């Protein structure tokens, strides 16, 4: 008589055989994603060399800057669901911190960039402790209030920040590097910063910390009741978001070479971050970057076509309304859901061919047990899914 261990071995072998036959269905999407990622990276690397003129290249730099800012925003908004319309405060702080460290302290531009982002992250700690005690509309109002306070401070403190006259920043690569070459170098710098931010977002999304943040997003009270340290998790996400947003603001300041408090601390910039993330999909890795591509190009197009008019603001408002009404989850989740409808539905019962069934019975005959889950005298026409089979046996 066969032992229980022999039966378990036969069943495990059959399950492994089924899993091996079923693997290609899971491998194909992974291969497609990998190929798409390689093509995207190749397109980004090749863009400066194929850009028609320096203006197109500068538009590319602006779009990449938007992508960095939106991805930085998504560390907070995407993971926790807290919608901050005042994230321009951290982009502005990053830009001004970097500029003032260069102009006043005469630091190396790249050292100033890193220190400026760290200073902004430190400032974000007490701000987060105060603002994260409220939720919903109250949090939105607090975020807007903070950016307006910074606007008044930097506009009024003319002796230190330049005030309404603005603050000019020396070029980090020296005057001998022409503007088109500056565009190309900063395009790649923004791309590298975006890659780092996306990698960290991806790692957090698959970590225990990320699971806790998503639990907060779905139901904060229930997450807290289950033992998730909600306030600490939110604060860490908030500071990370401020740090990467500040890095984006600092790199933009080095590229543009001039800071104006009215622009740097504009609620419109924070609204762009929210719109770009919502448009692409705040719960997806590349959602904010896709939204930045669409919104950034649209904004620059309307500015070039209609000059100093405010038509681009009208178009942005209409786009935001369309997104909220018809694509609340964003483009990437919407397309993914549409494609999922055409895929074979997963089931706990898998159809098997006659040849597979005969092979299972032949293997089970040596142990006195049918590997399909019944005895050797039964004739099953279906076999349990390997995952279910493995879960049943001790």
Give the CATH number, domain containing residue 153. 1.10.3470
Task: Give yes or no for a contact between 118 and 254, defined as CB atoms under 8 angstroms apart.
Answer: no
- Pairwise CA distance, residues 84 & 75, whole Å: 11
Task: Give the residue from 232, 197, 198, 196 showing the smallest Cα distance to 212.
Answer: 232
CB-count exposure of residue 184 (10 Å: 0-12, 13-18, 19+): buried
Task: Give yes or no for a contact between 84 and 277, defined as CB atoms under 8 angstroms apart.
Answer: no
Mean pLDDT for all residues in the chain: 83
- Pairwise CA distance, residues 185 & 109, whole Å: 14
- Reported in sequence order, the residue ranges of 254-357 that DSSP labels E, i.e. its strands, are 258-259, 349-351
For residues 9 and 152, membership in a common domain is answered with no
Q: Is residue 39 part of a domain?
A: no
Task: Give the residue from 117, 76, 63 showing the smallest Cα distance to 276.
Answer: 63
Q: Is residue 261 part of a domain?
A: yes
More confident residue, 223 or 354: 223
Q: What is the mean pLDDT of residues 156-164?
A: 90
For 339-349, b where at least 16 C-beta lie within 10 A, e where not — what string? eeeeeeeeeee
Q: Is residue 125 part of a domain?
A: yes
pLDDT at 308: 66
Does residue 225 have a pLDDT over 50? yes
Q: Is residue 193 part of a domain?
A: yes
Containing domain of residue 383, as a range? 4-26+344-392
Task: Give yes or no for a contact between 143 and 131, defined as CB atoms under 8 angstroms apart.
Answer: yes
Does residue 364 have a pLDDT over 50? yes
For residues 190 and 287, membership in a common domain is answered with yes
For residues 223 and 141, membership in a common domain is answered with yes
For residues 10 and 118, membership in a common domain is answered with no
Q: Domain boundary at 278, 303, 329, which?
A: 329
For residues 283 and 367, membership in a common domain is answered with no
Give the confidence band of 128 by pLDDT, cuts at 50, 70, 90.
very high
Task: Give the residue from 339, 385, 329 showing the smallest Cα distance to 32.
Answer: 339
pTM, entire model: 0.80
Number of residues that make up the chain: 394
pLDDT at 351: 59
Q: Is residue 334 part of a domain?
A: no
For the chain, what is the domain count? 2
Q: Is residue 62 part of a domain?
A: yes
For residues 266 and 388, membership in a common domain is answered with no
Q: How does pLDDT run across 332-353, given as a tens digit for each residue?
A: 888 888 777 776 665 545 556 7
pLDDT at 52: 84
Mention every residue, 6+ apart, whose C-beta is less than 8 A from residue 131.
Answer: 139, 142, 143, 146, 238
Give the HSE-up count for residue 158: Cα atoms under 13 Å, Cβ half-sphere: 4
Q: Domain boundary at 329, 364, 384, which?
A: 329
Q: How does pLDDT run across 176-201, given as a tens digit for each residue?
A: 888 889 999 999 999 999 999 999 99
More confident residue, 372 or 26: 26
User: Which value, to the nearest 10 degrees, does the dihedral of the CA atoms of residues 328, 331, 334, 338 take?
Assistant: 160
- Pairwise CA distance, residues 73 & 245, whole Å: 7
Task: Give the residue from 115, 250, 99, 104 showing the smallest Cα distance to 168.
Answer: 99
Q: What is the mean pLDDT of residues 48-69?
A: 93
Q: Is residue 154 part of a domain?
A: yes
Q: What is the mean pLDDT of residues 3-18?
A: 45
More confident residue, 317 or 42: 42
Does residue 358 have a pLDDT over 80? no
For residues 227 and 141, membership in a common domain is answered with yes
Q: What is the mean pLDDT of residues 258-272?
A: 92
For residues 172 and 267, membership in a common domain is answered with yes
For residues 286 and 379, membership in a common domain is answered with no
Give the confidence band of 10 by pLDDT, cuts at 50, 70, 90.
very low
Q: What is the mean pLDDT of residues 282-304?
A: 89
For residues 102 and 239, membership in a common domain is answered with yes
Q: Could you tell me what percent of the chain has a pLDDT over 70? A: 81
The encoded tokens of residue 110 equal 């790249």
Does residue 21 have a pLDDT over 70? no
Does residue 59 have a pLDDT over 70? yes
Q: What is the enclosing helix (H) or strand (E) of 167?
A: strand 167-168
- Reported in sequence order, the residue ranges of 295-392 that DSSP labels E, i.e. its strands, are 349-351, 382-384
Task: Give the residue from 100, 96, 204 showing the smallest Cα distance to 151.
Answer: 96
- Pairwise CA distance, residues 315 & 297, whole Å: 12
User: Kindly report the CA angle at 242 between 291 and 34, in degrees rounded to 5?
Assistant: 45
Task: Give yes or no for a contact between 382 and 349, defined as CB atoms under 8 angstroms apart.
Answer: yes
DSSP assignments along 23-71, one per residue: HHHHHHHHHHHHHHHHHHHHHHHHHHHH-SSHHHHHHHHHHHHHHHHHH
Does residue 54 have a pLDDT over 80? yes
Does residue 227 have a pLDDT over 50? yes
For residues 206 and 252, membership in a common domain is answered with yes
Q: Is residue 50 part of a domain?
A: no
Q: Domain boundary at 305, 329, 353, which?
A: 329
Q: What is the mean pLDDT of residues 101-130?
A: 96
pLDDT at 27: 66
pLDDT at 191: 96
Q: How does pLDDT run across 136-148, given as a tens digit for each residue?
A: 899 999 999 999 9
pLDDT at 181: 92
For residues 208 and 248, membership in a common domain is answered with yes
pLDDT at 144: 95
């Amino acid at each position: 008589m066969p032992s229980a261990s022999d039966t378990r071995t036969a069943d495990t072998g059959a399950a492994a055989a089924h899993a091996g036959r079923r693997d290609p269905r899971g491998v194909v999407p992974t291969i497609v994603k990998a190929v798409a990622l390689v093509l995207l990276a190749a397109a980004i690397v090749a863009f400066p060399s194929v850009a028609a003129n320096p203006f197109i290249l500068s538009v590319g730099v602006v779009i990449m800057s938007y992508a960095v800012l939106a991805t930085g925003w998504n560390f907070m908004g995407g993971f926790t669901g807290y919608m901050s319309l005042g994230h321009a405060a951290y982009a502005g702080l990053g830009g001004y911190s970097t500029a003032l460290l260069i102009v006043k302290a005469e630091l190396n531009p790249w050292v100033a960039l890193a220190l400026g982002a760290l200073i902004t992250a430190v400032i974000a700690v007490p701000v987060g402790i105060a603002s994260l005690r409220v939720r919903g509309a109250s949090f939105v109002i607090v975020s807007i209030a903070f950016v307006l306070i910074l606007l008044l401070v930097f506009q009024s403190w003319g002796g230190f920040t330049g005030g309404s006259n603005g603050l000019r920043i020396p070029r980090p690569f020296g005057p001998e590097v022409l503007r088109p070459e500056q565009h190309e170098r900063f395009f790649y710098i923004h791309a590298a910063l975006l890659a780092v931010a996306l990698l960290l977002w991806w790692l957090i999304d698959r970590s225990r910390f990320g699971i806790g943040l998503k639990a907060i997003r779905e139901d904060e009270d229930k997450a807290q009741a289950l033992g998730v340290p909600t306030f600490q998790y939110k604060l860490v996400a908030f500071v990370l978001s401020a740090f990467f947003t500040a890095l984006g603001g600092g790199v933009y300041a080095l590229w543009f070479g001039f800071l104006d408090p009215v622009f740097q601390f504009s609620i419109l910039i924070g609204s762009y971050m929210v719109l770009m993330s919502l448009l692409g999909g705040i719960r997806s890795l590349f959602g904010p970057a896709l939204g930045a591509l669409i919104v950034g190009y649209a904004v620059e197009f309307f500015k070039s076509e209609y000059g100093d008019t405010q038509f681009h603001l009208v178009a942005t408002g209409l786009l935001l309304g369309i997104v909220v009404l018809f694509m609340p989850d964003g483009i990437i989740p919407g397309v993914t859901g549409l494609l999922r409808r055409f895929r074979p539905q997963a089931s706990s019962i898998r159809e098997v061919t006659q040849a597979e069934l005969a092979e299972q019975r032949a293997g089970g005959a040596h142990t006195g047990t049918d590997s399909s889950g019944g005895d050797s005298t039964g004739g099953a026409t279906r076999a349990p899914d390997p995952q279910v089979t493995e879960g049943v046996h001790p």
